[in-house]
């Protein structure tokens, strides 16, 4: 499990998501559903109306060939719009749940932290949280992003009738020290055994490692699995500097993918 880097940045908003995903992107009903209802963030109606859903990777920070057409989500909120299937790790009782969300607030967000409660028949059967694996690391208004939830124990999670309740906290997207920094992927080539490429610090600030590499794989337009690795570079990278990476596939198939690289502002 990837451990999250410690931060002390005030949260912008907390949203409890209880909305069903679009059938096109949701897991089949027998594998669990996402439901949701969000608290008002106090955003003015005029500001909510001004946020328009953007095409996937509209900020051009991600690499890869995936181009999913995610739903719009809820106006004025950070809204979950799609999910994959809960993947259970054999012999470890842990699991991961891939999902997509959209920032429908009028401000860019970063260090997006999700927590999830899984329920079945009205009882809590698992709880988990995201692991700083969201791409892109900073999300503009109207943009969609990808992330995953790690569950320590899924032994009590049944194969059917699971309900996931998401809570999200966000921070402003700026260059303050230890805020998440999204690098711009310049190359991401899948050679069958690894995804090899590079990313550029396209910000006007110094960023530093560790530099995380996340590739979200798709089966058609459905999230299927996650490839994660680190770039060998760990030090400072000035504005305009480059980071190279090799994300090993470990016998996994990831023909269609979206890949992001992130570090931290110094």
CATH code (residue 209) = 2.60.40
Predicted confidence band at 227 (pLDDT cuts at 50, 70, 90)?
very high
Residue ranges with strand state E in the chain = 14-17, 33-34, 63-64, 78-83, 87-88, 95-103, 109-120, 123-130, 138-139, 144-151, 162-172, 180-190, 194-200, 207-219, 222-230, 236-237, 242-248, 256-265
- CA–CA gap between residue 139 and residue 13 (Å, rounded): 14
Tell me which residue range forms the domain holding 143: 14-172
**Residue-wise pLDDT tens digits, 69-91:** 999 999 999 999 999 999 999 88
Backbone angles phi, psi at 39, to 5 degrees: -75, 150
128 and 28 co-located in one domain: yes
153 and 52 co-located in one domain: yes
- 133 within 8 A of 71, measured Cβ to Cβ: no
Does residue 5 sit within a domain? no
60 and 94 co-located in one domain: yes
**Residue-wise pLDDT tens digits, 87-118:** 999 888 999 999 999 999 999 999 999 999 99
Q: How crowded is the C-beta side of 172, counted as CA atoms within 13 Å?
A: 6
At residue 132, the pLDDT reads 87
Predicted confidence band at 11 (pLDDT cuts at 50, 70, 90)?
very low
Predicted confidence band at 149 (pLDDT cuts at 50, 70, 90)?
very high
162 and 250 co-located in one domain: no
- CA–CA gap between residue 257 and residue 62 (Å, rounded): 10
Is residue 1 scored above 80 in pLDDT? no
pTM: 0.84
At residue 38, the pLDDT reads 36
Mean of the pLDDT values across residues 31-36?
45
At residue 49, the pLDDT reads 56
163 and 187 co-located in one domain: no
According to DSSP, residue 150 is labeled: E
58 and 113 co-located in one domain: yes
Task: Report the chain's mean pLDDT, rounded to a whole number.
Answer: 86
């Amino acid at each position: 499990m990837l451990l999250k880097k410690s931060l002390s940045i005030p949260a912008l908003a907390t949203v409890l998501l209880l909305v069903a995903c679009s059938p096109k992107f949701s897991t089949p009903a027998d594998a669990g559903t996402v439901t949701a209802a969000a608290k008002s963030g106090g955003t003015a109606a005029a500001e909510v109306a001004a946020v328009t859903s953007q095409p996937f990777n509209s900020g051009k920070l991600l690499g890869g060939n995936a181009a999913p057409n995610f739903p719009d989500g809820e106006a004025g909120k950070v809204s979950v719009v799609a999910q994959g299937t809960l993947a259970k790790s054999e012999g470890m009782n842990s699991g991961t749940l891939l999902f997509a969300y959209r920032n429908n607030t009028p401000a860019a967000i970063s260090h997006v932290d999700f927590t999830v409660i899984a329920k079945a028949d009205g009882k809590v059967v698992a709880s988990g949280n995201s692991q700083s694996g969201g791409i892109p690391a900073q999300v503009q208004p109207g943009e969609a992003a990808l992330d995953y939830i790690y569950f320590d124990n899924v032994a009590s999670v049944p194969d059917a009738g699971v309900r996931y309740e998401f809570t999200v906290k966000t921070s402003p997207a700026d260059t303050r020290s230890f805020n998440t920094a999204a690098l711009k992927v310049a190359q991401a080539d899948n050679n069958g055994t690894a995804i090899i490429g590079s990313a550029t610090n396209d910000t006007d600030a110094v960023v530093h490692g560790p530099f995380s590499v996340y590739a979200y794989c798709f089966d058609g337009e459905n999230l299927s699995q996650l490839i994660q690795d680190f770039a060998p570079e760990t030090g400072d990278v000035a504005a305009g500097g480059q980071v190279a990476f090799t994300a090993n596939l470990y016998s996994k198939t990831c023909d269609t993918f979206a890949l992001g690289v992130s570090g931290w502002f110094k």
